[in-house]
A and B are shown apart, each in its own frame.
Chain A
Amino acid sequence: MITLKINGSPRQFDGDPEMPLLWYLRDVVGLTGSKFGCGMGLCGACTVHQDGVAIRSCVTPVRGVVGKEVTTIEGLSNDSHPLQKAWEALNVPQCGYCQVGQIMQAASLLKQTPKPTDKDIDDAMTGNICRCGTYQRIRAAIHLAAKEKA
């Protein structure tokens, strides 16, 4: 039995501690906001925060987050994070599947770099694939959120 902290709430898990956090969140806890895209940490659809920093939950075993604060999109904000507002203001999503991972990645970026340059955004966001091709609006939304937040 291990104890995890997900979105501020402690949870007990007696399953395989090697299970990736993504599948624990989705299939065991029922938090389906984080998405499965590649299973190898290549696409970023599964991005969540560990102690406020973006990680790929599809390649992180649950044993690895014992004693850490895990935050998913469901726990990112009480209402709307500035990034979620910016995403909506600029109509960023198309299919929307990757956008949770994009927002979680961007939230991690803004925490460390409140005023990111285009280069900062490229460096932080390049691990997150959007097959619909919304990158231009993602970039604009990050800049917008950074401006609004300041």
Chain B
Amino acid sequence: MKTIDNSSRRSFLRQAFGAGALVLGARVLPTRALAALETAVFSPNVFVGIKSDGTVLIVAHRSEMGTSSRTMVPLILADEMEADWKRVKIEQAIGDEKYGDQNTDGSHSVRSFFSVMQECGASARSMLEQAAANQWSVPVSQCKATLHQVVHSPSGKKLGYGELAAAAAKLPVPDKSKLIFKKKSEYRYIGKDLPVYDLSDITHGKAVFGMDAKVDGMVYASVEHSPVLGGKLLSFDDKEALQVPGVSRTVEIPAFKPPHAFQALGGVAVIADNTWSAFQGRKKLKVSWDPGPNASYTSSEYKQQLQATARKPGKVVRNVGDVDKGFAAATKILEADYYVPHLAHAAMEPVVAVADFRDGKCTLWAPTQNPQAVQDTVAAAVGIDKKNVICNVTLLGGGFGRKSKPDYCAEAAILSKQLGKPVKVVWTREDDIHFDYYHSVAALYMKAGLDQSGKPVAWLQRSVFPSINSTFALDVKSGSAGELGMGFTDTPYALPNHRAENGEAVNHVRIGWLRSVANIYHAFAVCSFADELAHAAGRDPKDYLLDLIGPPRLVDLKAQGVDYPNMGPIEQYPVDTARLRKVVELVAEKSGWGKRRLPKGHALGIAAHRSFLSYIATVVEVAVSPAGKISIPRVDMAVDAGMIVSPDRVRSQFEGAAVFGASLALMGEITATAGKIDQSNFNNYPVVRMNEAPLETRVYIVESDAPPAGVGEPGVPPFAPALCNAIFAATGKRIRELPLSRQKLV
């Protein structure tokens, strides 16, 4: 067996749980905590193994939160090794750096691991072929792996993968340079629409999410946190809480030390023998807090500060030509202020984690996007080495970026250490909304000068927002290159004079990544302003947008002095305006732009945006009733995400992005009063429901051999501006602030 040595961990787990003692939800899954490939006889690398019965085990090292990574990344390997998908068993990896990056965010599971999976699959296939050749004493060139067996072409002899596994295990792993890969035309699964691995479990209620994790002897905890970030616990009275049937005790969790990062927030935990009793006990707690300096945070005032900053010069982060000269020469000047509030992730599964600390080790079961961050965070929280933190990854009931921040895992670990038994920490929906790592609020200022023909001769854009970097460092005031590179410093328009500036802002709440991150507010301002210019110039918005994008070319941001991280090597993933133009043209054609007859009160809006290395153009059809009520009969999206694995799952991500985009555009808003978040549940933080969602979203995928880009996030950014551009076309009212629920259309 050539798998990673995990014996110390295994013997610990056997001791800790005994056979069958560990129960995850309705199913007993003791192997979850073991090395994923330990039952394999052949395992040429950490991602694949073959058991003697021929079962191919493939490790899913990325988290499943709805994007299908858990299926589609292993599927690349299965295809390359000629495995029969029906005989593949997926094993979810624990957090372990041997797998490389496990942080399932940034839309990069396929992008970063396509070639890794191919290499692992091709290695296994090549070794199986060699093992068969040795057994038959024939040249390996006559042996071909085909659907779970190796066939000797001249004689037609066959050996199954299970029969070959033991012999293959004795062979050296071939050098990467010697591997021969399948041609695209030979793919069995890539490009086809295979269902996700967990489909039937999901529809039958058998899928195990973090909320469903259960360990023998486990107690339940609900934690009262300071309503204001950084507030200090003054005192608490738990007399009444302890009288609630099922409640056993309370535990104080120390406050985090700034910067907060992924630390447990701190507070008072109520421990009970079931979730509901813990919730009930917590309602009876009397807790007194010193709210601290963040009590100064009130959204209405903060908004004015951001907007005032955006009206002043900021730090120049991109400069082309001389915008001031351009403005002086322009015949028409346009200015606009845009504003997007904080958003909460509101995944359907509130954050939850089970931790079992014993004998200096901590085992967790958690819906996490980043099990290695769980290891680091828990190790620091309970004072052990990260190799003694075993993070089992359950399915995630949605993530959207929230579950890449494992503060809730630290809470469970701290409590388990203190109580000496396994603890399940369950956040209520109110906790989930009150103590999120919010998508950042942002104010933007846009200014353009047009010449007589309506062409932009100068374009100034300013963005002001509290940065995600405030998670990890104190006194952060500027946006990071990563945030600014999300649709702000990389605006791909052909502009002779173009300046981008970033103004300072201080955070008062935890700020974090949310599906498509800073692209949301940047694309809203940039794509809306492009539409404003088109109307000011009296031009068709789609034609004007194509002119703004300009001729097909690679935009050289480095030559313009931009600190632009891109999200992959720029040589492989340039900013290619030809691809952006193509999706605009495609979506215009498919949506019937300028041709489709629309009922009264209906109109189309268009927006195009490159993010996560993918090129997306969106046309939204809006219907505005005489009373000003908005509905969305149809959305068209053209997508160039490079090479893709599963067209159906790509379509589903973009269908979902339209709904996610509709939620943030129509109704998404988190506000604070005196440092405390005003919203608490789906009654006051609504998200789109079936009767408000786009009735039909059509997705057109550009066939591409370009390297795989991103799929999970890039559908979100162009949605809100396309919708608001459609509203302008329908009503003449320009929307510069979200959400639309705050706006009166008539």
The yes or no answer to A129 lying at the interface (CB within 8 A) is yes
Interface of A is mostly: loop
B206: min CB distance to chain A, Å: 7
**Are A95 and B689 in touch, CB under 8 angstroms?**
no
Task: Sort chain B's interface into a size bin.
Answer: 35 or more
The yes or no answer to A16 lying at the interface (CB within 8 A) is yes
**Are B429 and A37 in touch, CB under 8 angstroms?**
yes
Take A34-B205, A73-B205, A130-B348 as given contacts and tell me if A88 and B195 are in contact as well, using a CB distance cutoff of 8 Å: yes
**Are B690 and A125 in touch, CB under 8 angstroms?**
yes
- Note all chain B residues with C-beta closer than 8 A to A131: 346-348, 398, 400, 660, 687
Name the one of B25, B208, B655, B691 contacting A134, with C-beta atoms under 8 angstroms.
B655
Name the one of A92, A100, A126, A130 contacting B205, with C-beta atoms under 8 angstroms.
A100
> Which segment of B490-498, B504-512, B564-572, B692-700 sits at the interface?
B692-700
8 Å CB interface, B642-697 against A: 648-649, 652-653, 655-660, 681-683, 687-691, 693-697
**Are A35 and B211 in touch, CB under 8 angstroms?**
yes
How many chain A residues touch B (Cβ–Cβ < 8 Å)? 58
B333: min CB distance to chain A, Å: 39
> When chains A and B are docked, how far (Å) is the Cα of A46 from the Cα of B697?
28
> When chains A and B are docked, how far (Å) is the Cα of A79 from the Cα of B600?
48
**Are A28 and B274 in touch, CB under 8 angstroms?**
yes
**Are A35 and B690 in touch, CB under 8 angstroms?**
no
Take A98-B348, A122-B690, A126-B689 as given contacts and tell me if A133 and B204 are in contact as well, using a CB distance cutoff of 8 Å: no
Name the one of B25, B67, B211, B274 contacting A36, with C-beta atoms under 8 angstroms.
B211
**Are A135 and B682 in touch, CB under 8 angstroms?**
no
Best-buried of B276, B649, B659, B687 by chain A (most CB within 10 Å):
B276
The yes or no answer to B101 lying at the interface (CB within 8 A) is no
- Note all chain B residues with C-beta closer than 8 A to A36: 211, 275, 349-350, 426
The yes or no answer to A84 lying at the interface (CB within 8 A) is yes
**Are A32 and B275 in touch, CB under 8 angstroms?**
no
**Are B690 and A16 in touch, CB under 8 angstroms?**
no
The yes or no answer to A6 lying at the interface (CB within 8 A) is no
Task: Give B213's nearest chain A residue, CB to CB.
Answer: A32
**Which residues of A pack against B, CB within 8 Å?**
15-16, 19-20, 23, 26-28, 30-40, 42-43, 45, 72-74, 80, 84, 87-88, 91-100, 103, 121-123, 125-139
A sample of 18 inter-chain contacts (CB < 8 A) reads: A26-B212, A30-B214, A37-B348, A38-B429, A40-B683, A95-B395, A96-B207, A96-B395, A97-B209, A99-B203, A100-B203, A121-B690, A129-B348, A130-B348, A130-B690, A132-B66, A133-B655, A137-B652
**Which residues of B pack against A, CB within 8 Å?**
25-26, 64-68, 193, 195-196, 198-200, 202-209, 211-212, 214, 220, 245-246, 274-277, 279, 346-350, 395-400, 426, 428-429, 648-649, 652-653, 655-660, 681-683, 687-691, 693-697
